[in-house]
Amino acid sequence: MRMPTILVTSFFGMFFLIGFGIISFSLWNIRSSLVAGGWPTATGTIKAVHLDRKSDSDGDIFETKVVYNYVAQGKQFEGNRIAYGYCPSNGQRSHEQIFAKLQSAQTVEVRYDPSRPETSVLSYGIHRSHWFLLAFGTLWLAFSMGLASLIWIASLNETILLKNLNTQ
């Protein structure tokens, strides 16, 4: 194998791995979020909740952070996961709505993993963060495949053109 071929293959291999990694992580979060819908529930109390805002040159990023207590299988636990796949974003309104709902709550329904009761969530199901990450991973792969295809096509010889080019 020639050195440029090895470099190009390694370069695109890395991009494909990143794309498949993003999609795999997204699917794992979706699966976990759906499974959590069938977990037993316990009544929890909010210990702390705040809306985190980080600013940089690209704008503001928001995330609701929460800490809650609950009792499962006779033991006291503390959790902080709102939902599988929930992550910071620039969607201020959505994060403010989540914050307001949690801030005004007297209690919350906590879903916990019966085999690992220290693992818990407050919400479940497929939500916007899941769709965004899945779409991003798919777009990443499609772009990587398209670029790799263009480079491969550009490297081909014009064998058919030359074969069918009749000269005298």
Q: What is the pTM of this model?
A: 0.80
pLDDT of the residue at 137: 96
Average of per-residue pLDDT across 133-162:
88
Q: Is the pLDDT of residue 2 over 80?
A: no
Q: How far is CA 37 from CA 24, 44, 99, 118, 162, in A?
A: 20, 16, 21, 16, 62
> Over the stretch 22-69, which tens digit does the pLDDT of each residue have?
999 999 999 999 999 999 999 999 999 999 999 988 899 999 999 999
> Over the stretch 89-136, which tens digit does the pLDDT of each residue have?
888 999 999 999 999 998 999 999 999 999 999 999 999 899 999 999
110 sits in the region (left: phi over 0; alpha: psi -120 to 50; else beta) called: beta
pLDDT of the residue at 3: 54
3-state helix, strand, coil in the chain (%, to 5): 45, 30, 25
Contact 137, 123 (CB under 8 A): no
Q: Position 51: which residue type?
A: L
Euclidean distance between CA atoms 85 and 25, whole angstroms: 9
If one compares 3 and 19, the residue with the highest pLDDT of the two is 19
Torsions phi, psi of 49, nearest 5? -150, 135
Domain ranges of the chain: 24-135
